[in-house]
Chain A
């Protein structure tokens, strides 16, 4: 019996060793630098770190970001890289944890990186941003939407911003502003009502942006109603909104609740155009075509449109699956923006890894004006958030149809 146990233990250990060996070969889980020549960042490669949560909770977002960013960089390298140099990506998994993200960053620093793409979830991205800000390392996230990623304290303007941190997705209040401008510009709306999910940062962030822009645009807000997470009955709220008879109703929340709210609103006699947020994706299955007709929402990604067609085909080729969500194309753009920054620094002939080089990358990104990505054109505002064109998607005959890219300034 003892012998058997010993054998079993030995077998288990052997297996574990083999498994570790496999990881080393793959070289993408925190030990990417094994083969790297420490400290020497110049030569014929430019090293950047890609930090994403490719395991653990919400790993599907991290994997999408990794795949999207790698697709861009592999294509770039295949086309000759930047300034004749190949871009070498050191991949790290932060497991959605801020401490892991900073550890990964410190490891990457030892390898002489010049830029960071990541992280994915808002929490670790903010922790990581604190670390990159200290050494002025260029950083871009494809998916962290909270204001606190680029602003040190969103409630206190004087705390300043992390000038080195950027993102390729738009922030929540920006979505609200865009929809208000769209309502005014394109729909000629002068009155609006709002239904939002109380206690949701996402919903309230969007709503705040919408309200702010409505004040500027002289759109009168005739009703503001709330519901709690998990509610199914919006009859009372929608009856109230219908009685106020607004031109548009803004609903910054997800498709399941939005489907119910729209159906119940139409039953209560609401005729206004419904404006939604990027949480409206796949709403067509959650309310009837008739009730949805004319509903418009802004999204970070419009599947099947011209600008992403090539990306979608390439993604399918390389990864053997369709683009799973908006994070993959946004990460493709994030990698593109960072590489554009690197290109600018390279063209100035600076030494990779030096303070001037990093500053040149940052300056290049922050001064971008209308750089075309696959999900829209990029200009960065004073808070390093992209003022992007938003893909407007309209419900027509029960289908979610892309209509135009809209930017309000």
Chain B
């Protein structure tokens, strides 16, 4: 029983991070139909910011966390302004290629600036210790990861459904031209979407380094791809879909491993992508257009 419980916690912890990253993918796709492949690499930058804030500058963990989230937000908006805004009326393919280019730029830039080796902050972890419940124990890092992601998702849902900016985001997502005619500032709304998506990536990066202690230049690429699969599975463009997709991928990876098929873990995840794209390209919740952001 305790084994099943431990694996369930593992699945939730992994799924929370995938869900947070998938949310960023989904929001950006929902508003400008762009698969922002640089999204995973923003997490990498956030992890480095946390690492240097903690180990080189010895900031308080809370300060480091805020700094990482703020830096990710600024980076996300900057990328949008520099790389995507000039291409807003260009074909979708140009945008996609630009996103891949930005992803390479960030990965190789990080290798140049931070070096190619993996940085580890295991000696001064962000969150340490674990909670014992009878014969099972949960690390505080796992507990906080799960809690923070659930809170972030609730906050995001409220933001999108209940606020004026959220309303603007939904309007732009539904019909950009009409929204503009109604007096909604396109630039402001899109930048705001990028800011929120990147802030979520920032939170994801902090949770990632809290659980896995390491920052490396290529860490965002696989994480980004898995989150992309999660977003597609849930229905890209849908906020609840991204959450469901993220947790589903975390669960699938853990179940496959627990079943003794760890060699097949990544294979199964990408097989899901293929099956979803073939059978139900809109994903689990993709149909409800009104829920697009």
Name the CB-closest residue of B to A229: B222
Identify which of residues 119-168 in chain A touch chain B, using a CB-to-CB cut-off of 8 Å. none
A residues near B (Cβ < 8 Å) are 198, 225-228, 230-233, 235-237, 239-240, 243, 256, 259-260, 263, 267-269, 285-288
Name the CB-closest residue of B to A289: B123
B residues near A (Cβ < 8 Å) are 3, 6-7, 10-11, 13-14, 118, 120, 122-123, 130, 137, 139, 208, 211-214, 216, 218-219, 221-222, 253-254, 257-258, 260, 262-263, 265-266
Known: A226-B262, A233-B212. 16 other contacts (CB 8 A): A225-B257, A225-B262, A226-B263, A232-B208, A233-B14, A236-B14, A236-B262, A237-B257, A237-B262, A239-B7, A240-B260, A256-B216, A259-B122, A267-B137, A286-B118, A287-B122
Cα–Cα distance between A287 and B258 once the two chains are bound (Å): 24
Cα–Cα distance between A95 and B137 once the two chains are bound (Å): 53
Cα–Cα distance between A239 and B253 once the two chains are bound (Å): 13
Name the CB-closest residue of B to A267: B139
Q: Which residues of A contact B6 (CB under 8 A)?
A: 239, 268
Cβ–Cβ contact A256 & B122, under 8 A? no
Q: Which residues of B contact A243 (CB under 8 A)?
A: 3
Enumerate the 9 nearest inter-chain pairs by beta-carbon distance, A residue then B residue, closest first. Answer: A236-B257, A235-B10, A256-B118, A226-B263, A232-B212, A236-B254, A226-B262, A286-B120, A225-B262
Cβ–Cβ contact B258 & A236, under 8 A? yes
Name the CB-closest residue of B to A282: B117
Q: Which residues of B contact A256 (CB under 8 A)?
A: 118, 120, 214, 216
Cα–Cα distance between A228 and B11 once the two chains are bound (Å): 17
Cβ–Cβ contact A285 & B222, under 8 A? no
Cα–Cα distance between A287 and B214 once the two chains are bound (Å): 10
Q: Give 18 A-B contacts (CB < 8 Å), ordered by A residue.
A: A198-B262, A198-B263, A225-B257, A226-B262, A227-B262, A230-B218, A232-B212, A233-B211, A233-B253, A236-B14, A239-B258, A256-B216, A259-B213, A260-B212, A263-B122, A267-B139, A285-B120, A286-B214
B40 vs chain A, min Cβ distance (A):
12
Cα–Cα distance between A67 and B6 once the two chains are bound (Å): 52
Pick from A240, A260, A288: contact of B214, CB below 8 A. Answer: A260
Cβ–Cβ contact B254 & A260, under 8 A? no
Task: Tell whether A228 pairs with B254 under 8 Å between CB atoms, given A259-B120, A267-B130, A286-B120.
Answer: no
Q: Which residues of A contact B265 (CB under 8 A)?
A: 227-228
Q: Which residues of B contact A263 (CB under 8 A)?
A: 122, 213
Cα–Cα distance between A395 and B215 once the two chains are bound (Å): 23
Cα–Cα distance between A287 and B257 once the two chains are bound (Å): 23
Cβ–Cβ contact A232 & B214, under 8 A? yes
A92 vs chain B, min Cβ distance (A):
29
A231 vs chain B, min Cβ distance (A):
8
Name the CB-closest residue of B to A262: B122
Pick from B213, B258, B263: contact of A260, CB below 8 A. Answer: B213
Cβ–Cβ contact B130 & A285, under 8 A? no
A199 vs chain B, min Cβ distance (A):
9
Cα–Cα distance between A267 and B122 once the two chains are bound (Å): 13
Name the CB-closest residue of A to B209: A232
Cα–Cα distance between A101 and B256 once the two chains are bound (Å): 46
Name the CB-closest residue of A to B223: A232
Cα–Cα distance between A367 and B219 once the two chains are bound (Å): 49
Cβ–Cβ contact A240 & B212, under 8 A? no
Cβ–Cβ contact A236 & B253, under 8 A? yes
